[in-house]
Amino acid sequence: MVDFMPYAQALFEVATEAQKDVSIGQEIQELAEVWSSNQELVQVFKHPKVKREEKKELLQKILGENVDPILFRFLLVLNQHDVLGYLPEIAAAYTKCFNKAHAIEIVDVESASELDAKQIQDLESVLAKKLKKTVRLNVKVNPDLIAGLRVHTSEFVLDNTVLTRANSMKEQIKKN
């Protein structure tokens, strides 16, 4: 498997030096969405029989002056390294670089029921204090949990769900 982090790190460093890390981050995410939604385009960029020069011309035709010059030059580098078809993975790695540099933590939260805005805000606040980072929640509803929350951060997992408690009691009963 190819490690895309060096590509993302290089773009992030150049974008940061140019004070464009936010705007280039938004642009690369938008392009990644286009790539993800257009499998024909991805296949062209990944196909080994399509020459680099043809891919470069296609990039120029599709994007032209519509993207930041730094990002366009980066796409040309990706083309030279035959990884242009992997832009969504590279964009995800860029987001990781950005989040790390800006002390942003993406926290996955599973809840048995829908959380309201106040609950989300309170949870973000508590986690931000604990982690000493800006927190962005990725909340998913999982009715199988019965009740409670499961919180996954880079530092810990907090599982305060009825399902986990029930499974734990079941295991204790089996042992005794």
Supply the pLDDT for residue 96: 94
Alpha-carbon gap, residue 16 to 22, rounded angstroms: 8
Positions in the chain short of pLDDT 70: 1
Whether the Cβ atoms of residue 96 and residue 8 lie closer than 8 Å to each other: yes
**pTM, 2 dp:** 0.77
| Range list of H helices, 18-146 | 21-37, 39-46, 52-63, 69-80, 87-101, 117-131
**Side chain identity at 113, as an amino acid letter?**
S
Alpha-carbon gap, residue 18 to 152, rounded angstroms: 34
pLDDT digits (tens, 9 = 90+) for 63-110: 878 999 999 999 999 999 999 999 999 999 999 999 999 999 999 999
User: What residues does each domain of the chain span?
Assistant: 5-99, 104-175
Alpha-carbon gap, residue 143 to 131, rounded angstroms: 27
Structural class in CATH, domain 5-99: mainly alpha
* ∠ Cα 14 17 21 (to 5°): 70
